[in-house]
Each structure stands twice: as C-alpha cells, then as structure tokens.
C-alpha cells in the first residue's frame, strides 16, 4: 500500500531564511503525482506545488521548490525567503491513479511550520 | 476559477440528530467529489469518493449508513451524518475535480460539533 511519511512534526524558520520540509513515500507504481499542500489557520487547503513522477526536472513555484528523488522516494519542499504568511501546516500528498479512471490523495501527517519575525 | 464552497461552515447539533453538509463547485462541473475528515492537529483522512449519478465508494472503516453521501448533480454533493454522536465531532472537508483523474479543488471545510 502507498504511504506518505513526514518525519518533522514541527519546524521553525526565521523570516527571510530558507527552510526545507521532508517527505518520503512508498509505492510500487512508476507513474504518479506528488503534491505539497498548505493549510493555514483558516483550514483552507491550498495547493503549493505539484510534481509529476515522470518528469525529472524539479518543480518550482516562485519561492517554493521541490527536491524530487524518485529512486529514493523522497520529495522535499524548500521555502526560500520565508514570510510570516508561510506559517501553516504543510501536507505532502501522493496521488494514486486507478487505471486513469479515478484518483485518490494519500496525505502525510503534516509539518507545522512556524515563521519567527 | 475552480472554487468550491461548503455550507455550513460551522454547525452544532444534539446527539442523535442528523446534520447535512453541502459541497458545491461554483464555477465548474465536478464529476467526482471527495469527502475528508480531519481531527485536530491531524491529517486528512479520505472518507469516500462520489461520482455524479452513482453510489459513493467508501473507504475501509467508514460506515456508509452513518455517513450518507449524495452526488445528485455535477455541482452539488451532500454528506449527511446520521444519528450524530460526540465522537463524530470533527472538521469535514470536501474536494471536487472536473474529471476523476484531475486536480482536486478543496472546499473551506465544515466544523461539526455534536453535543
């Protein structure tokens, strides 16, 4: 069964500094999607970044980038120039595709990121 | 674009009563909607997947008779918690996708408190 593991329950970063959140996953599939979602205190889930497994190039969205290591089944999120608004719970997620017919997200346990001014 | 709403945002009900939560896709037609449950400081756990016009598929351990899901139109899915008990108190989140294999767009969630 597919699993997603986030080994850092909490992290802290100084404003303007860089922080990396870790995520590992387990799967026997070769084609899949990985995501990082942000959940601020409002509880609204916000998609931060997405990576397609067949793409070797790491995804980047402004200050957010990933380090995708397919062989190691690792998918870390780097936040550069951290801002106070980045403080939130971050969830790593893996998407299962059943024969292209449907999809299902498996979430990690989350990392609570605090940003210190 | 791709906005999903939930109603109500908060609800308090008495033990033994039923409560309905609505999930609407406001600017797109969603063939598939998902219902998640999130306990405080925990992750999202998928409860069920619903496809428009067909019966929902429930995850293992989720009681389908207790959590009734209806996806009667391409823009509306409802979750009814029947005979609610205090242990059903939780944060319920829905998501919707245009096609089953597409991106999921999340609603803002509904906080249910059963007294």
Query: What pLDDT was estimated at residue A106?
Result: 92
The string of DSSP codes covering chain A is --EEE---SEEEEETTS-EEE--EEE-S-SS-EEEEEEE-TT---EEEEEEETT--SPPEETTEEEEEETTTTEEEEEE-S--GGG-EEEEEEEEEEETTTEEEEEE---EEEEEE-
Query: What pLDDT was estimated at residue A5?
Result: 96
Query: What pLDDT was estimated at residue B41?
Result: 85
Query: What pLDDT was estimated at residue B51?
Result: 87
The model's confidence at residue A104, banded by pLDDT at 50, 70 and 90, is confident
Query: What pLDDT was estimated at residue A102?
Result: 63
The model's confidence at residue A107, banded by pLDDT at 50, 70 and 90, is very high
Query: In the structure encoding, which two tokens stand for residue A48, read together?
Result: 């931060």
As a whole number of angstroms, the distance between CA A35 and CA A108 comes to 10
Q: Is the pLDDT of residue A99 over 80?
A: no
Q: Is the pLDDT of residue A30 over 90?
A: no
pLDDT tens digit sequence for B69-93: 999 899 999 999 999 999 999 999 9
pLDDT tens digit sequence for A63-91: 999 999 999 999 999 999 999 999 999 99
Query: What pLDDT was estimated at residue A70?
Result: 94
Q: Out of A91, A101, A103, whose CB is closest to B43? A: A91
The A-side interface with B (CB below 8 A) comprises: 42-47, 91, 97, 100-105, 107-110, 112
Residues of A in contact with B95 (CB under 8 A): 45
User: What is the phi/psi pair of residue B86, to 5°?
Assistant: -55, -30
Query: What pLDDT was estimated at residue A97?
Result: 66
Residue in chain B closest to A32 (alpha carbons) equals B101
Residue in chain A closest to B99 (alpha carbons) equals A102
Average pLDDT over residues A1-10: 92
Q: Is the pLDDT of residue B22 over 60?
A: yes
User: Per the CB < 8 Å rule, is B100 touching A105?
Assistant: no
Q: Is the pLDDT of residue B100 over 70?
A: no
């Amino acid at each position: 069964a597919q699993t997603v593991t986030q080994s850092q329950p909490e992290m802290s970063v100084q404003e303007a500094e860089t922080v990396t959140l870790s995520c590992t996953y387990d799967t026997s599939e070769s084609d899949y999607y990985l995501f990082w979602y942000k959940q601020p205190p409002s509880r609204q889930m916000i998609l931060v970044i997405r990576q397609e497994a067949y793409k070797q190039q790491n995804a980047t969205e402004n200050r957010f980038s990933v380090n995708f290591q397919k062989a190691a089944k690792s998918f870390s999120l780097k936040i550069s120039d951290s801002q106070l608004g980045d403080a939130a719970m971050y969830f790593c997620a893996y998407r299962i595709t059943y024969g292209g017919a449907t999809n299902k997200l498996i979430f990690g346990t989350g990392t609570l990121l605090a940003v210190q001014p | 674009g791709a906005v999903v709403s939930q109603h109500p945002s908060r609800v308090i009900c008495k033990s033994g009563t039923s409560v309905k939560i609505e999930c609407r896709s406001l600017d797109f037609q969603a063939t598939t909607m998902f219902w998640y449950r999130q306990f405080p400081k925990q992750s999202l756990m998928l409860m069920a997947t619903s496809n428009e016009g067909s019966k929902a598929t429930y995850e293992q351990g989720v009681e389908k008779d207790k959590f009734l899901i209806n996806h009667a139109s391409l823009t509306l899915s409802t979750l009814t918690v029947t005979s609610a008990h205090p242990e059903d108190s939780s944060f319920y989140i829905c998501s919707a996708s245009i096609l089953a294999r597409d991106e999921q767009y999340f609603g803002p969630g509904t906080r249910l408190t059963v007294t």
